[in-house]
Chain A
């Protein structure tokens, strides 16, 4: 990146840093409130208001979460579903996007039309359930993966990314007699690292957050993903459904905040590792090399 050392250049830099810094603070501070609230004692939470520092910090909310025996099963379940799901989704999305991005592929508009229709039209919960059932997928974690393997919107974005890859290398390969598969694996795929990284995050988060399909398609609670369990923990902390026994030191709000932290932390840790793929000139750099 070329530096602009003029006065306006400097001014811009300062303003830019300040603005971005302010925005980052604005997004970060409420998260501080969430984390602080998860450690706060119920009396402080009952008073309401924003909390940036818990007064009598305690781990009660977290204990409530991790004391649930099934939480670790849920963690295992979510990890398995996320890893397999992301891999499946990434593969199928890429495989499908590739032909649709090739101008030589004359039927691409027909298939794109099919995809766009599914962008806006949806059969609904019960019809989809019937299909999943007829395929024998009920009570299997594949029911949480296959029906959502490709998000039409993201397929379209992926196709767009592939289209934007400069064509020279691919053409050179074709001239040398390579076929479509070879071009895909040797050229397109490596050049798509930023796109792949993007969709690892996007699909990963999608699978990690899934809870509704688990409730609908799974009968055996063994494989409930962590989100299902966390949501129920919040409900039971609120005293919903439990009757005569008094709730004591747990504040439902504290539990809810702790749930946000537990559910968010894993993903937040993943993104920084993927950031190196978002470096400028990545694609071209690889081409040169």
Chain B
């Protein structure tokens, strides 16, 4: 509180800048958060928040005693980890490589092409995936049978779920993720490159000591933000991919709740699950943030 009063006195203009955003957050983010009380009720839209009965932690009890839910939570976390390990570096790598391209025209063309998939809906992407990977007429399996191998059920097997999902994700989001990083790259002083070259450094020195540090803070922020939505990663994509064969590992919290909660209008349960997800995410974000600060970096907080 003291800090706020201090700023009001010493930095009033800054507060003015902050004002619209503050109003926004209070109105449209914090006021609705009161609705999280639904998680402790047996909410019925007709009875509303005031009329619906209170059930304490019953919804959470239901959640934790559902054997499917535990499995689904594990799946969700595995998907998240996969994403961070296998996908997250990709836009960084592509941005750095693009940065090394000398020919501005080529750079522009590649830049424009790689982010197109972002606009294609997951339904269409699944259709394309199907055309490529199905065992009946799929392009890849046709190739395999031509060279005498057995067809592989890419889409209907547990083993192939992760590879297919990651490849799809890379294809869909890899280019889009470069936008923010490329913007950060523009902050590098060209004189630094010249200095590096004069000092006898080659390309890899340049990348390691100049390019990478310049975008490091951005990468850290992006990572932390990703952790903020860790439990939601891949919803629409997985909704298309999940089927009877891969359900034990493919079903994530969001698709599970979509099937049994939202569609049936069970708001309390859905809200309780949402709270659970949020709790996990905030722990991840704050935990990683502290870790980063311990290593001398700057977190978001």
Contact = CB atoms under 8 A, between A and B. Distances in A.
A and B touch in the complex (CB under 8 A): yes
Contacts of A98: 14, 17
A127 B197 contact: no
B32 A127 contact: yes
B203 A4 contact: yes
A149 interface: yes
B30 interface: yes
B64 interface: no
B228 A119 contact: yes
B139 A105 contact: no
B285 A120 contact: yes
B7 interface: yes
Interface stretch (A25-33, A53-61, A78-86, A241-249): A25-33
A16 interface: yes
A279 interface: yes
B57 interface: no
A184 interface: yes
A194 interface: yes
A72 interface: no
Nearest to B20: A92
B114 interface: yes
Nearest to A111: B18
Contacts of B4: 107, 110
Interface string A59-84: 00000000000000000000000000
Interface stretch (B73-81, B99-107, B248-256): B99-107
Given A110-B3, A198-B179, A96 B94 contact: no
Contacts, number: 294
Contacts of A197: 183
A146 B175 CA distance: 29
Contact of A284 (B3, B7, B190, B229): B190
A190 B189 CA distance: 16
Interface stretch (B147-155, B218-226, B237-245): B218-226
SS class of chain B's interface: helix, strand, loop or mixed?
A: helix
Contacts of B22: 96, 111
Nearest to B214: A164
B268 to A, nearest CB: 11
Interface in A80-106: 91-93, 95-96, 98-100, 102, 104-106
Contacts of B94: 20, 23
Interface of A: 1-4, 6, 8-9, 12-13, 16-17, 19-21, 23-24, 26-28, 30-31, 33-34, 48-50, 91-93, 95-96, 98-100, 102, 104-107, 109-124, 126-128, 130-131, 135, 146-150, 152-153, 155-157, 160-161, 163-165, 179-181, 184, 194-195, 197-198, 201-202, 205, 253, 256-257, 260, 263-264, 267-268, 271-272, 275, 277-284
17 contacts: A2-B193, A3-B102, A26-B171, A27-B114, A50-B128, A102-B11, A107-B3, A116-B282, A121-B278, A153-B228, A160-B217, A165-B187, A194-B186, A198-B180, A264-B116, A277-B183, A280-B190
Given A23-B114, A31-B116, 14 more contacts: A3-B102, A9-B202, A30-B117, A48-B131, A48-B137, A50-B132, A96-B17, A98-B17, A122-B32, A123-B32, A161-B184, A260-B119, A268-B116, A282-B186
